[in-house]
Structure 1
């Protein structure tokens, strides 16, 4: 009598699983072969590549500047360590000195050597560099600045150094200021606005705001204005000042007490007899409430003025011919 051979339940389950597994693998194989994974292109489009190229070329020359109250940005324009930034970024710096952090994380002390409050420009020269040279950004000529062109802003908004934003040059104001929709935030001030050739076309300085916040409109001082400022002040000595009053007067003034701290040798202030310890009391017969009044007046490029000076307990009115 022949014996029937029966498969055990385990054998049957294994057989079913094996068959199902083969079928599933086969189906998966067919699916993969029929719909291969799409590989993304290895190259960026033209607009992306331009942004990348501009950033790689210019960002090593962009620095973060601290004045003891906050931070801003700046750009190396000479390899020996000359930086272009905003006047309001260095305003109130102690003894005319600021702290500069470069893109590679190195830190230096910088001397303010020139300010232009009207156009919100300043020059800072690094000290104690040990002979180091720094990457620079070239300034654009007037032909490199056109409404409608793509622009790139690099800076340290809210302390986030090396931040890139993009937009277009929306308008050139009658005074030459550049208007852009590229995002500019606190900390971007003093940083470069660049064209697609990586040239500096402007120094970012302000945003238009309302009660609803940032309206997405930013402003920069044009490179054509900055070029004249640089040429005029390239070789200046440091403005050793808590609050520099600029080359027109040549003194360092404590912004709280209005007491003159230092007088530059050979300056207008030294020629009219101003001394450290003198106190600025009045201007053109009116009492000075704060240093801003004097700075604003000097920005108007007056030909003359009458300064009232306090020396000890005595007051003296000194005529000044600029």
Structure 2
């Protein structure tokens, strides 16, 4: 489990209300509102970029760059003089070049024109510029402020035509209890907003513009994060350090990376995700912004970073550490399911196994603790784990086909499912390995 986001900060055992709930915010992929005709279909554009070009038999030229001009014959001293002038002042270099040509009796022009790159000039479908141009109008910078004046800046994106904005819980947590929220679009127009619902455990929140009239509400198309592959191109958009509308690129570096973040705000509870890892440059302020694929569809919500300093996470100005190429995003399949729950019920629903597991141990599996919260049983009588035959001291080492090396990993993986899902659990008891099937229960809200 990478220390990507601040460590959970729990005692040796996480209480049943959170750890035992091993839950998930799964969900099928799909689009909300107007999906956007520029994503998907048989004529979907190829990934941006492409192979470097060059003249046959010669060195390759950089992507998108014109071929170098042919060398010109000059005397050695004159070439040196022109080169020096060009290095000192580019504008003067052109003048010196013309003067030198005139002195040599040349009647031709010394102007060298670029042949241009039609693909670049047209911003071809699938290019980064094309993706950014379509997505930026649907990405907002969120300013959150509590009643005491504390707060910060994050990012969100248009989820539907009703004015719902999808973002991180830790972006809006400070304003959730009577504070102020404002969403600013790329055209500079700002709108007051309110919290519709937030899920601290998933670190997902939905806000809504109070008066969306006049706002250009073009929902970003949602991709299928399950189909994302390591090496796929990514584009991240956000407001790092308050710099709205910043676009960066990278790839999917890894999938199903278990990450815990304590930036969820309030109560000291952690957020857990089975994250998409990317090397696209993301920093504090990118929180809640979209991670797009090469077709411009959202595959994740940027939520946490691994810092070279002393921690991670994006939220609340708790750290000013910058990107080192290790960023983590909540898969959009899970985030969509949670967002739909929040819009319908205004409260999150978590799948649970109803067993408390140790949160400090790692490497050997998720061990069911001796006791739960306040001395209660670690395995809730009549709960899913109890019905499946699990007991205190059992070490869960696999959930379906996913290896489990710690309590946070178990929770992150369970929370990719939904209540009622059946999962196969592999565990070790008294040195012997066994398997059992668990039907996941549910828990509503963050404080139960």
Structure 1 length as normaliser, TM-score?
Answer: 0.62
CA distance in 2, matches of 1:247, 1:38: 60
1:209 alignment partner, SS class: coil
Change (3 A) 1:48 1:217: farther
**Residue 309 (structure 2) pairs with residue 211 (structure 1):** yes
Higher RCO (CA < 8 A, seq sep 6+): 2
From 291, 294, 297, give the equivalent of 1:199: 297
Deviation at 1:29? 3.0
CA contact (8 A) 2:144 2:179 kept: no
**Residue 234 (structure 2) pairs with residue 151 (structure 1):** yes
- Per the alignment, residue 41 of structure 1 pairs with 116
CA distance in 2, matches of 1:149, 1:47: 19
From 105, 130, 140, give the equivalent of 2:223: 140
Change (3 A) 1:120 1:28: farther
CA contact (8 A) 2:276 2:329 kept: yes
Deviation at 1:227? 1.5
CA contact (8 A) 2:248 2:281 kept: yes
| 1:62-116 superposed Cα distances (whole Å, 9 cap, x missing partner) | 0000112110000001022110000000011151641111111111111111112
- Per the alignment, residue 61 of structure 1 pairs with 138
**Residue 212 (structure 2) pairs with residue 129 (structure 1):** yes
CA distance in 2, matches of 1:201, 1:104: 24
From 249, 262, 277, give the equivalent of 1:166: 249
- Per the alignment, residue 101 of structure 1 pairs with 184
* Structure 1 gaps, min length 5: 1-22, 238-245, 249-282, 286-298, 305-319
Change (3 A) 1:236 1:44: same
CA distance in 1, matches of 2:338, 2:112: 58
CA distance in 1, matches of 2:166, 2:197: 10
From 173, 178, 190, give the equivalent of 1:91: 173
CA contact (8 A) 1:113 1:236 kept: no
CA distance in 1, matches of 2:101, 2:338: 75
CA contact (8 A) 2:181 2:192 kept: yes
CA distance in 1, matches of 2:124, 2:105: 39
CA distance in 1, matches of 2:278, 2:101: 58
Deviation at 1:233? 2.1
CA distance in 2, matches of 1:211, 1:143: 31
2:112 alignment partner, SS class: coil
Change (3 A) 1:190 1:135: same
CA contact (8 A) 2:193 2:207 kept: yes
1:235 alignment partner, SS class: helix
Deviation at 1:47? 8.9
- Per the alignment, residue 334 of structure 2 pairs with 225
CA distance in 2, matches of 1:84, 1:203: 9
CA contact (8 A) 1:112 1:123 kept: yes
RMSD over equivalenced CA pairs, Å: 3.4
* Structure 2 gaps, min length 5: 1-99, 146-150, 259-273, 311-320, 350-372, 376-414, 416-440
- Per the alignment, residue 200 of structure 2 pairs with 117
- Per the alignment, residue 78 of structure 1 pairs with 160
CA distance in 2, matches of 1:144, 1:60: 26
2:325 alignment partner, SS class: strand
**Residue 298 (structure 2) pairs with residue 189 (structure 1):** no
Change (3 A) 1:144 1:50: farther
Deviation at 1:169? 0.5
CA distance in 1, matches of 2:126, 2:225: 25
CA contact (8 A) 2:199 2:348 kept: no
CA distance in 1, matches of 2:140, 2:231: 27
CA distance in 1, matches of 2:216, 2:162: 5
1:66 alignment partner, SS class: strand
2:174 alignment partner, SS class: coil
1:89 alignment partner, SS class: helix
CA contact (8 A) 1:58 1:136 kept: no
Change (3 A) 1:159 1:131: closer
The aligned length equals 229
